[in-house]
Structure 1
Amino acid sequence: MAVSGFEGFEKRLELHFSGDDPIRVSNLGLRLLEFESVDDVLHAVQCTVVSAVGNRYFDAYVLSESSLFVYPTKIIIKTCGTTQLLKSIRPLLYYANLMGFYLSDCKYTRGSFIFPQSQPFPHTSFEDEVFYIENCLPSRLSHRKASFMPSKKSSSQSHAWHVFTASDDHHHHGHPLSSMDSLSPASSSYTVEVCMTELDRTTAQKFFRRPGDRKSGDAAGREMTENTGIRGINPNAFICDFAFDPCGYSMNGMHGEKYSTVHVTPEEGYSYASFECVGSLAHDRDDFVEVLKKVVQVFRPGNMSVAISCALTAGDDVWTRVINGLEPLGLKCRSCAVDDFPAAGTILFQTFTSRRK
């Protein structure tokens, strides 16, 4: 086996929970999970917390390998490298059940690994991942779907999108949660997941620590946030950032009940950056296109994919708005795919390459 570099592409897991105690659900809910329990979950995944912040809506953790977000009834965890993300499911369900919560939705997404041969089980293939997830889930989550986007006939294999969703009958027919806590088609919320490779070399160099730099990871992270333009992507967000040694960067942004997150692996030959955010089509319908443009201007990637999870309304042309926003920046749309998932709404997936290639 050839020696591999660091795997930047993240695996992302989103779990939604319901509870019979409305007071517990509407207040802190899963945020009452003790840190020892969080640490136990992360130990199974093989990563640790390096920084953490919270506001009135949720808690955000920067991990040694990406991010964790905990809302009262929702948990999002994304990890990179050779972490075993799916091994978090069983302990998360165990601790949630002890608190009186039960799983109502599960969503797993990831891109195509740069070094797939280096991934440990259960991330050895998408089929293995789906098999593993299905064996972890309670049987009542009967609405299940696995999808590979675009189809395997596409030439854009480096930026394919793997999706698995599952939901129970109750949630499948929709029940009210807060806008950021809902995956139901009735919700106007969206999630944008961006994966970028072949970063601009000058930009990538800004994510290396200077030799002999004695700054803390937090201080170096703040410097990178300012020097790279990341601060300007969402200037209203409170940012918790961290710079790794000798290179690499992570940040979580908090803006009310919305989160955003950036992760960068800058090494030459396998450079990678990701950006993710949530929002509401009802309140900031066009904001995500402006945000995507800022992300492209920061990283200037050679390859890029954009996955948007939302509840589409008739005649909505989200994919056209993304193309119209990015093509003037020198990116050419190479593929578009769309698929519908039970209780998770619609996922639009587009791939782009730089015209400089």
Structure 2
Amino acid sequence: MAVSGFEGFEKRLELHFSGDDPVFNMGLRQLSFDSLEQILHEVQCSVVSAVGNHYFDAYVLSESSLFVYPTKIIIKTCGTTQLLKSIPPLLHHALNLGLTISSCRYTRGNFIFPLSQPFPHTSFHEEVVYLEDSLPNHLCYRKASVMPSNVTAHVWHVFSACDQTPLVHFPPSDLYTVEICMTELDRTQARKFFRRPGDGKTGDAAGKEMTEIAGIHKINPNALICDFAFDPCGYSMNGIDGDRYSTIHVTPEDGYSYASFECVGSIYDDEDDEDGADGDDFIRMLRRAVQVFRPGKVSVSVTTATTASHRLWARVAGAMEPLGLKCRSCMADEFPAAGSVLFQTFTARRKKTGECGGGGR
């Protein structure tokens, strides 16, 4: 096998469940820590830090993040983890809580080191076969697709399944999920995610220092941040703000540097409020996240059930272009259990003589 570095691109699994008043009964949040660790053992990762509020629990993992809501669970893992192996034990534990799976969504980018991935992640075809075999038959509306781009290193893979027709299962919603993948990070920015040898700090203390130095705490000042720094390098963070989460993961090594930012937004986040004030908090958050890393290449995936999805194209571009990032490709597709998936790629513009501009290299 060829020598490879650490795989930054994450695999992401989101499962939704239904049952008798699961919100009142806490639903999936009743899972014991031992049960969660058993599930994560199948994936080959573990919990390193955690935080929670009235709405959900957020865990920083040795490889990325886990979010547990009463009726929804999101697991995002990087490296050579076997994420899809979490499905059988998750379904087992959920059934014991009186919950039945109602939808599934799996997404990932293009692996930097695909030959290093173990089963069932050796190819997207293998992943789809595993998903098809692992999910119960009542999730009968299924679709798998690879969304290409003009930036060959950034390709988006999507699988979704649900138990009802999309029209019935997903009424219009103002919320959407944004997944940003960044490569070719600015070296000066990437160095902020290396620990000093023998610093004597815990992962939590070093993580808080990186959060401050890199300016991550400014992305969403309202969020409660749970962060962790790995040794000798690497960083993970979960932010919780009411019922919304955000998460960042960084692999800073030169040659295969990578960072991701994921959050939940609303189509109303960028509208003016009743007093006419500018309400572009969400766009500012996206810009701040990308400015932390100043990447050379960026892909942005937006998943939404809203009928106003076409409005998101301009919003994403409006957030990226002032940073010196030019849109290179964009496409959309429809998926059961997901709605519309919008996928755009950006690359840093090269500065011309006498030109000033933001964020690109």
TM-score interval for Structure 1 and Structure 2 normalised by the shorter chain: over 0.9
Deviates more, 1:292-301 or 1:61-70: 292-301
CA distance in 2, matches of 1:185, 1:118: 40
CA distance in 2, matches of 1:188, 1:242: 32
- Kindly state the Cα deviation for residue 351 of structure 1 after the two structures are TM-superposed: 0.5
Q: 1:15 aligns to what?
A: 15
Query: What amino acid maps onto 2:158 in structure 1?
Result: V
Map of 1:81-160 to 2, 5 A cutoff?
81-150=79-148, 154-160=149-155
- Kindly state the Cα deviation for residue 173 of structure 1 after the two structures are TM-superposed: 1.1
Local SS of the residue matching 2:291: helix
**Counterpart check, 1:336 vs 2:330:** yes
Deviates more, 1:102-111 or 1:156-165: 156-165
- Kindly state the Cα deviation for residue 170 of structure 1 after the two structures are TM-superposed: 7.3
Q: Which runs of 5+ in 2 are unaligned?
A: 272-279, 351-360
Aligned partner (choices 191, 195, 203) of residue 205 of structure 1: 191
Q: 1:280 aligns to what?
A: 266
Q: 2:3 aligns to what?
A: 3
Map of 1:253-268 to 2, 5 A cutoff?
253-268=239-254
Local SS of the residue matching 2:194: coil
Checking the alignment, whether the CA contact within 8 Å between 2:82 and 2:118 is kept in structure 1 is yes
CA distance in 2, matches of 1:325, 1:187: 22
Q: From the superposition, tell whether residues 170 and 352 of structure 1 become closer, same or farther in structure 2 (CA, over 3 Å).
A: closer
Map of 1:153-302 to 2, 5 A cutoff?
154-169=149-164, 173-174=168-169, 184-283=170-269, 286-302=280-296
Q: 1:178 aligns to what?
A: none
Local SS of the residue matching 1:351: strand
- Kindly state the Cα deviation for residue 29 of structure 1 after the two structures are TM-superposed: 1.0
- Structure 1 residue runs of 4 or more that deviate by more than 6 Å after TM superposition: none
Local SS of the residue matching 1:113: coil
**Counterpart check, 1:345 vs 2:339:** yes
Checking the alignment, whether the CA contact within 8 Å between 1:185 and 1:344 is kept in structure 2 is no
CA distance in 2, matches of 1:245, 1:273: 17
Checking the alignment, whether the CA contact within 8 Å between 2:172 and 2:307 is kept in structure 1 is no
Local SS of the residue matching 1:317: helix
Query: What amino acid maps onto 1:338 in structure 2?
Result: A
CA distance in 2, matches of 1:121, 1:78: 17
- Kindly state the Cα deviation for residue 160 of structure 1 after the two structures are TM-superposed: 0.5
Q: Which runs of 5+ in 1 are unaligned?
A: 175-183
Local SS of the residue matching 2:198: coil
- Kindly state the Cα deviation for residue 80 of structure 1 after the two structures are TM-superposed: 0.1
Map of 1:58-97 to 2, 5 A cutoff?
58-97=56-95
- Kindly state the Cα deviation for residue 295 of structure 1 after the two structures are TM-superposed: 1.3
Q: 1:179 aligns to what?
A: none
CA distance in 2, matches of 1:228, 1:266: 13
Query: What amino acid maps onto 1:354 in structure 2?
Result: A
Q: From the superposition, tell whether residues 172 and 27 of structure 1 become closer, same or farther in structure 2 (CA, over 3 Å).
A: farther
Q: How many residues align?
A: 343
- Kindly state the Cα deviation for residue 284 of structure 1 after the two structures are TM-superposed: 5.3
- Kindly state the Cα deviation for residue 282 of structure 1 after the two structures are TM-superposed: 3.9
When normalised by structure 1's length, the TM-score is 0.93
Checking the alignment, whether the CA contact within 8 Å between 1:185 and 1:345 is kept in structure 2 is no
CA distance in 2, matches of 1:269, 1:53: 33
Query: What amino acid maps onto 1:67 in structure 2?
Result: S
Q: 2:275 aligns to what?
A: none
CA distance in 1, matches of 2:241, 2:209: 20
Query: What amino acid maps onto 1:209 in structure 2?
Result: R
Query: What amino acid maps onto 2:338 in structure 1?
Result: A
Q: 1:317 aligns to what?
A: 311
Q: Deviations over 1:276-313 (max 9, x none)?
A: 00122245564432222111211100111000011343
Checking the alignment, whether the CA contact within 8 Å between 1:337 and 1:350 is kept in structure 2 is yes
Task: Tell me the C-alpha RMSD between the 2 structures.
Answer: 1.5
Map of 1:39-54 to 2, 5 A cutoff?
39-54=37-52
- Kindly state the Cα deviation for residue 320 of structure 1 after the two structures are TM-superposed: 1.7
Among all aligned residue pairs of Structure 1 and Structure 2, give the percentage whose two residues are the same amino acid: 69
Q: From the superposition, tell whether residues 4 and 185 of structure 1 become closer, same or farther in structure 2 (CA, over 3 Å).
A: farther
CA distance in 1, matches of 2:69, 2:239: 14
Checking the alignment, whether the CA contact within 8 Å between 1:302 and 1:354 is kept in structure 2 is yes
CA distance in 2, matches of 1:291, 1:70: 23
Q: From the superposition, tell whether residues 170 and 143 of structure 1 become closer, same or farther in structure 2 (CA, over 3 Å).
A: closer
Query: What amino acid maps onto 2:50 in structure 1?
Result: A
CA distance in 1, matches of 2:200, 2:167: 52
Checking the alignment, whether the CA contact within 8 Å between 1:105 and 1:171 is kept in structure 2 is no
CA distance in 2, matches of 1:311, 1:227: 36
Query: What amino acid maps onto 2:233 in structure 1?
Result: C
Q: Deviations over 1:41-75 (max 9, x none)?
A: 00000000000111000000000000000000000
